[in-house]
Amino acid sequence: LENLLSANRIAIDQKSLTFSCVIHPENFSLEMGVYPLLAGVALVHALEKDLPCKPQLKWPNDLMIGGKKVAGILIERAGNSQEGPLPLIMGIGLNVQGLIKEFPEELQEKLTTLEEVTGETFSLETTFQTILTHLELLLQQLHREGAPSLIKQWQDASCSLNQSILYEGEDG
């Protein structure tokens, strides 16, 4: 784990789990675009056993439960490309505790939490460790086997595969 991934955790109001991982890819020929897929699959694997329904991945970087967003993923390269192979920063935010009625009204139809979905309280520390374990396992699998297996796992968990996606920029 030390060679591929290091992580730091920050809990907001002891209800959400937000953390960043620094990934040091062993295979720099892999496209950066595979890492958001890896993070999404790791979240699905880490959480699915504790949920009443399988979480789904919405392109490109959201984890959904029952059609509502419970987590988001962001990936970026760290540093300047002139410095050689660059590590990646993977940021994950997961709504763990709390009920929908605690969210602003305009978000209540769009977001959910693990507690809302299950009626149970989740330990932030245990959830964090479980996600890190699945990230590590998938990173090892990716570097051992390449991207095809990971892409298949993402496709199996996707709710947006074969769906039309509408993008609206600033100009509409």
Cα distance between residue 172 and residue 140, in whole Å: 42
Asked if 67 contacts 109 with a C-beta cutoff of 8 angstroms, the reply is: no
Owner of token pair 């990934």 = 23
pLDDT in tens, 39-65: 999 999 999 999 999 999 998 789 999
pLDDT(95) > 90 = yes
Give the sheet arrangement for strand 62-65, strand by strand: 5-12, 16-23, 88-95, 68-77, 62-65, 56-58
What is the pLDDT averaged over residues 85-104?
90
Percent of the chain with pLDDT over 70: 83
Least confident of 66-75, 76-85, 94-103: 76-85
Give 90's strand partners.
21, 75
The whole-number pLDDT of residue 14 equals 78
The whole-number pLDDT of residue 6 equals 55
